[in-house]
Amino acid sequence: MPLFQPLVLPNGAVIPNRLAKAAMEENMADADHAPSEAMVRLYGAWARGMSGLILTGNVMVDHRAMTGPNGVVLEDDAHLDRFRRWAQAARAAGAQVWMQINHPGRQMPAAMGQATLAPSAVAMDLGAFSKQFPVPQAMREQDIEEVRRRFARTAQLAEQSGFTGVQIHAAHGYLLSQFLSPLSNRREDRWGGSLENRARLLLDIVRSVREAVSPGFAVAVKLNSADFQRGGFSPEDARSVVEMLNPLQVDLVELSGGSYEAPAMQGQARDGRTLAREAYFLSFAHDIAAVARMPLMVTGGIRRRAVAEQVVQSGIAMAGIATALSLEPNLPRDWQAGKDSAPVLRPITWNNKALGSLANMAMVKFQLKRLGAGRRTDAQVSPLRALVGQQFATYWETRRYRRWTAARG
């Protein structure tokens, strides 16, 4: 299947080509935790680069539950004008633009000063970094119901803002992924135990979102192909969950993998499996494609045109690109023009894998901030410089977030 052939979704919407700008967490919100002008410029750059689908970074459904201190929140209509400018900039060249909506569950830093909720009171296992995340409180029935309502409301507001779809984040160890994993979900009620119970919240949210938006508005799901932790959410579980999603009018499922504890989305597994250097999750996707009745997308390490072509020619509908597009937002346009660009960050050779993972994320955010400021990216930025700069920024942004939440009462 050619990379630049359109994809018609189950709801009839058309994605202009098979290349997607996958989600990357920007942490570039303004003082109201709405999209900043820098974010608008950033997404304008991706629009000009001709990605067929542009997925936003995390947009949180609850201001009390954040993956980071400078993230975007959409829970009411107070700042819809800024969300409309964001959507308009991203859609300027004809891309489908979907808002990724999320709740962090236990993956919220303790420094944020908020009560942390999760399926069960199971702490994060990050070695020396574990104390940066508090032991969560097990969610009550009313907490679970509130989360379901919030996802549906945020999707509704995304449509009002001019986005063409939403992606429900059920991967990377965030709340819905926590419900799916037997490592983090140890409940003995209707939300835990069997896979059908562990998938219940995701399925309820998909139904609620679908009911809250119009038929032409895309509803997608991001799902782990595996947790890459022994005893966690497995490839067989992922296949079964996709079968459960089949009848629910889902327009696309993106397959990724891992969590903060095992960042397979950066090519690192904790269960002994070795991941390929590019298109990490393609082999898992082929198995899931055998049962999926909706298009699939694979994200994870893709930076070369030949690899993206391998993905779509193998029967996977979309190739998702993240880090490479943080370095070169014009990558799809370059590939269509016949260039063989393959942007890559400076490698991190540190022995401490947890620090290396943090540095990798910091290096990506460094690029995003440069693009948002209208500057050229720097693939050779020092990992240490990026990490230290990000840590300082996070410290001050966390203080600002705590003042902001205190003022809200």
Q: For residue 119, which of 131, 106, 130, 132 has the smallest C-alpha distance?
A: 106
Contact of 372 with 44, CB cutoff 8 Å: no
Range of the domain at 130: 7-345
Residue 384 lies in a domain: no
Question: Do the domain assignments include residue 404?
Answer: no
Could you report the per-residue pLDDT of 163-192, keeping only the tens digit for each?
Answer: 999 999 999 899 999 999 999 999 999 999
Per the domain annotation, does 401 fall within a domain?
no
Asked whether residue 376 is assigned to any structural domain, the reply reads no
d(CA 86, CA 18): 22
pTM for this one?
0.94
DSSP string, 343-359: --PPP---S-HHHHHHH
Residue 304 within a domain: yes
Q: What is the mean pLDDT of the segment spanning 318-338? A: 96
Asked whether the predicted pLDDT for residue 12 surpasses 90, the reply is yes
So what's the pLDDT on residue 270? 41
pLDDT at 272: 38
Residues 409, 290: Cα–Cα separation, whole Å: 50
pLDDT of residue 274: 37
Q: How many domains does the chain have?
A: 1
Residue 217 has pLDDT above 60, yes or no: yes
Question: What is the percentage of the chain residues whose pLDDT exceeds 90?
Answer: 80
Q: Who has greater pLDDT, 270 or 382?
A: 382
Does residue 396 form part of some domain?
no
Query: Which pLDDT value is given to residue 372?
Result: 97
Kindly report, residue by residue over 239-298, the tens digit of the pLDDT: 999 999 999 999 999 998 766 665 544 444 443 343 345 555 777 888 899 999 999 999
Confidence of residue 392 (pLDDT cuts 50, 70, 90): very high
Does residue 273 sit within a domain?
Answer: yes
- In this structure, is residue 184 part of a structural domain? yes
Alpha helices in 246-382 (DSSP H): 282-289, 305-313, 323-327, 331-336, 353-372
3-class DSSP assignment, residue 132: helix
CA gap 393, 33 in Å, rounded: 15
Q: Is 36 exposed, middle or buried (0-12, 13-18, 19+ CB in 10 A)?
A: buried
Cβ contact 212:168 at 8 Å: no
The CATH number for 130's domain is 3.20.20.70
